[in-house]
Chain A
Amino acid sequence: MEPGNSISEDEINRFLDGELSPSQRSDVQARLALDPRLAANVFAEAQRMEALRSAQPQRLFPPRASVNGAKQLEGVFQRRKVVMALRMPVAAILLVGLGWAANSVTEPLRQGGRTVDQNFILAAREALRVAQLDAGPQQGGGELKQDKIERLVGALNISMPPLPSSWQVTDVQVQPWNERQSLVVTANTPSLGRITLVAAPMNGEDAVPPTSATDGRIPTVYWQSGGTAYALMGPAAPERLEVEAKGIEVATRRKLGSKIRG
């Protein structure tokens, strides 16, 4: 760049690399218009960069090993996505379980909102709404838990295997899930204590074996069978949860198989 020119080299580079704001960009363009020689240099530089982009080598058919590596990585991300997504209904059920009233839910908004996670609040409100819907019109004598599970499985378009006979189901709820609904079953078990099973509909079918979430939070084992994802949570060692989950997962596959066979 010429000495004494009012446009610095730094500005030219930022201009070429799209690092200027629209107003700064207009300003540089206006000043370039007054200096045709510099403008020609900048234009030549832009052309060189365009040639550089055009000259990029192509790899239309990457090696199989690279493709396989990419697919494996996508699989890991997909499983992580299932876990992350399943946390939402879990958070919601905890809220409802703790007896949060609408007043409590909206209170953070009235505290200035500086640390409020809007998504969390929306999810919590949705949880409350769904819980109210879930209670529904009271049926005479109360609905049996197993009947409720069967009713909701049909309504939510999910699969639910027969639960182990040793489980004593204490609560069945429907919870918001990714703009749809999930089924949350809480039960007392002789070996694991009080546990919660979440079953949620997924957008596509997949087969993910029972896998322990190792983020150090609530012990959770998750898996996917067909179009339903499951998460089993409870105050037990992940290995023991995984054993229980594998039993349920096998039952799920049998149920799916029998559906396919008709």
Chain B
Amino acid sequence: MKANFDVTPHLEDLWRYGRVLTHNDADADDLVQEALARALSLARGYDASRPLLPWLITIVRNTFLTGITRANAEKRRLAAYAVLSDPLLLPSQEHSVELSNVRKALAALPTEQAEVLHLVGVMGFTYSDAAEVIGVPTGTVMSRLSRARNTLRDNMDRSIDHASAHLRVVGGRLDGTR
């Protein structure tokens, strides 16, 4: 098997994962840069027979857990909730509404659930790969994933109810009666 050592094509995946952890574009950029610097110092220990992306993802995660970006991310996370409740952000098209809802629902997930959902559901990691990255047993990955799915579904349902409530106000009275 020929090893693939191309890092640049993985930058977007690393940034997206960093964004799941930090909830912020700029913090995700900083995290990826810090992680790449760390990866340079760890490159000698990389097992070239294994895929590169999980190795890089693990470094991004460890960098986040030990770095200052984590503290900043918590502050940003609080700010993100303000965005979630902003009714002016209601999109106009049905598809956009769906995407907007899923983004909001994802942003409201606890980080440990969002992370495992991202690794398995978005990036396509196997349970065992995700377990190795996170450093937990496969069973824990599965239970977090299950909770994440339930929370995401509940968040999306609430988001749809919220949007419906706003729609009812239009053309009617504030108590919803005509």
Taking Cβ atoms with an 8 Å cutoff, the residues of A that contact B are 9-10, 13, 17-19, 45, 48-49, 51-60, 62-63, 65-67, 69-74, 76-78, 80-81, 84, 214
Contact = CB atoms under 8 A, between A and B. Distances in A.
Contacts of A73: 7, 36, 39-40, 43
A17 B117 CA distance: 10
A18 B125 CA distance: 10
B153 A45 contact: yes
A53 B16 contact: no
A53 B32 CA distance: 21
Contact of A69 (B36, B103, B121): B36
A58 B36 CA distance: 19
17 contacts: A13-B142, A13-B145, A45-B149, A45-B153, A48-B153, A52-B102, A55-B103, A57-B19, A58-B12, A60-B12, A66-B15, A69-B37, A69-B39, A70-B11, A70-B36, A72-B36, A78-B5
A67 B103 CA distance: 27
Contact of A62 (B12, B19, B117): B12
Nearest to B56: A73
B11 A59 contact: yes
Contacts, number: 107
User: B12, B37, B46: which has the most chain A beta carbons within 10 Å?
Assistant: B12
A214 B45 CA distance: 12
Interface residues on B, range: 35 or more
A76 B152 contact: no
Given A76-B40, A78-B5, A55 B121 contact: no
Contacts of B16: 56-57, 59
Contacts of B120: 17
A56 B36 contact: no
Interface of B: 3, 5-8, 10-12, 15-16, 19, 25, 29, 32-33, 36-37, 39-40, 43-44, 46, 48, 98-99, 102-103, 106, 117, 120-122, 124, 126-127, 142, 145-146, 149, 152-153, 156
A58 B12 CA distance: 7
A56 B122 contact: yes
Contact of B48 (A18, A52, A59, A84): A84
Nearest to B43: A76
A52 B3 contact: no
Contact of B99 (A19, A51, A58): A51
Nearest to A60: B12
Given A53-B122, A66-B29, A48 B102 contact: yes
Contact of A55 (B25, B99, B117): B99
From B36, B44, B117, residue with most partner A Cβ within 10 Å: B36
Contacts of B43: 73, 76-77, 80
Contacts of B25: 57, 59
Contacts of A10: 142, 146
A123 to B, nearest CB: 16
Contacts of B37: 69
